[in-house]
Amino acid sequence: AAGVIQSPRHLIKEKRETATLKCYPIPRHDTVYWYQQGPGQDPQFLISFYEKMQSDKGSIPDRFSAQQFSDYHSELNMSSLELGDSALYFCASSLGVSPYGYTFGSGTRLTVV
């Protein structure tokens, strides 16, 4: 079965650079969620989209922005990167707004040097 696809799997950036993470949800899933997981930490909710509109916002820094496109894929844009942004970034998708069918991608590991 198709899963949530995230790209790239690994990304190394320097401080103050920008990064773009991509998420391709399971076909027909219309809701996308982004999470950040620091080393040894639990995943923290960043932002979600339902039908291309932002549906909820968590602890996402102002330096970050995200959007969901007409094909339902989503991109997380991160600017002025800081060392503390080094983390695993997970995307998840579901059909509708309920978390019953929450499927996560394998994540993008971002390292800021």
Partner 1 sequence: GNSVTQMEGPVTLSEEAFLTINCTYTATGYPSLFWYVQYPGEGLQLLLKATKADDKGSNKGFEATYRKETTSFHLEKGSVQVSDSAVYFCALPGDSSYKLIFGSGTRLLVRP
Q: Which residues bind partner 1 (CB under 8 A)?
A: 31, 33, 41-43, 45, 48, 50, 55-56, 58, 90, 92, 97-100, 102-107
Choose between 18 and 111: whose C-beta lies nearer to partner 1: 111
Element (H, E) at 67: strand 64-68
Nearest distance, CB of residue 49 and partner 1, angstroms: 9
Choose between 73 and 79: whose C-beta lies nearer to partner 1: 73
- Find out whether 33 and 48 touch, Cβ atoms under 8 Å: yes
- Residue 35, classed as helix, strand or coil, is strand
- Residue 37, classed as helix, strand or coil, is strand
Choose between 8 and 58: whose C-beta lies nearer to partner 1: 58
